[in-house]
Amino acid sequence: MEYPLNPIAIEAGPFQVHWYGIIIGIGIALGFYLASREGNKLGLPDETFSDLLIWAIPIALLSARTYYVLFEWEYYSQNPGAIIQIWNGGIAIHGALIGSVATAIVFARKRNISFWKLADVAAPSIILGQAIGRWGNFVNQEAHGGEVTRSFLEQLFLPEWIINQMYINGAYYHPTFLYESVWNVLGFILLLALRKVNVKRGELFLSYIIWYSAGRFVIEGMRTDSLMLPGDFLRMAQVLSLSLIVLSVGLFVYRRIKYTLPRYNDQTNKGEISS
């Protein structure tokens, strides 16, 4: 196998299919399958997640790209043709979350379904999709950390094909894509376990936000390609991750105090966003 890996999976004349898109597509498909199956168990209509994804996927991709482009506007203002080239990377997960959550809130209101129930069912699918999607960064040799030695990577007991792909422009780098992928897989397992505990409605989704944000805060500090706030002294993902942790913990406590919340596996689907 030659390294670096070819980011193009299929090429026929001007037609190209990138591994980045294929890997993200796999994550979406698997997440949809898991959410639909769980939703059916909890009494959601069969078409709930298929109808939601019709809107959520394009809006999430658009918001994810918009988020990234806005924070890299100095480059994209000079290269407007590159704005649509998402196959080269540059999709910010925080932007995708903003777009998809907003879409789910509107969708839930239109269908008179509890947003929190939708979010709880989707949470394990989202974090699993993120774990899979990070391997698109691996193929593109992006979202990596600072420079390290080959011996450091060998001490992590990584297979040769990962170590070799982390050799970029004459140096080896932290595989932060892998750190985040493993963290997200652990989060997926945790969320499945919390289902068995039968937490209150909304708390599975809030647990996802807290878990993902904690890992992202730490891992983001290792990366060399962070989106920065104006002034270039604060990493946007770290600021947002910390804010989301505080907000989620606050919501967790507030909802417990203010509302009599149904359990996660409650079969009722109707309800306001606050319940």
271: pLDDT confidence band, cut at 50, 70 and 90?
low
Contact 204, 191 (CB under 8 A): yes
Give the predicted TM-score (pTM) of the model.
0.93
Under a CB-based contact definition with an 8 Å cutoff, are residues 43 and 269 in contact? yes
pLDDT of 274 higher than 60: no
Flag whether 272 is in a domain.
Answer: no
- The gap between the terminal CA atoms of the chain, to the nearest Å, is 53
Q: Please give the residue range of the domain that contains residue 106.
A: 8-258
Q: Helix crossing, 236-258 with 203-220: angle to 10°? A: 160
* Average pLDDT of every residue of the chain: 93
Question: Is 269 part of any domain?
Answer: no
Phi, psi of 223 (to 5 degrees): -80, 155
Note whether residue 265 is domain-resident. Answer: no
Express each pLDDT in 64-89 by its tens digit: 999 999 988 888 988 898 999 887 77
Within-domain flag for 132 = yes
Q: What are phi and psi for residue 145, nearest 5 degrees?
A: -95, -160
Contacting residues for 152 by C-beta, under 8 A, at least 6 apart = 172
Strands 171-173 and 167-168: antiparallel
pLDDT-derived band at 14, boundaries 50, 70, 90: confident
What confidence tier does 58 reach under pLDDT thresholds 50, 70, 90? very high
Number of structural domains found in the chain: 1
User: Per-residue pLDDT tens for 199-257?
Assistant: 999 999 999 999 999 999 999 999 999 988 877 778 999 999 999 999 999 999 999 99
In a domain, residue 199? The reply is: yes
Q: Is residue 266 part of a domain?
A: no
Check residue 72 and give its pLDDT: 87
Q: Scanning the structure block, which residue is given the tokens 């269908």?
A: 111
Neighbours of 157 (CB within 10 A): 6
275 pLDDT higher than 60: no
Digit-coded pLDDT (tens) for 86-122? 877 788 999 999 999 999 999 999 999 999 999 999 9
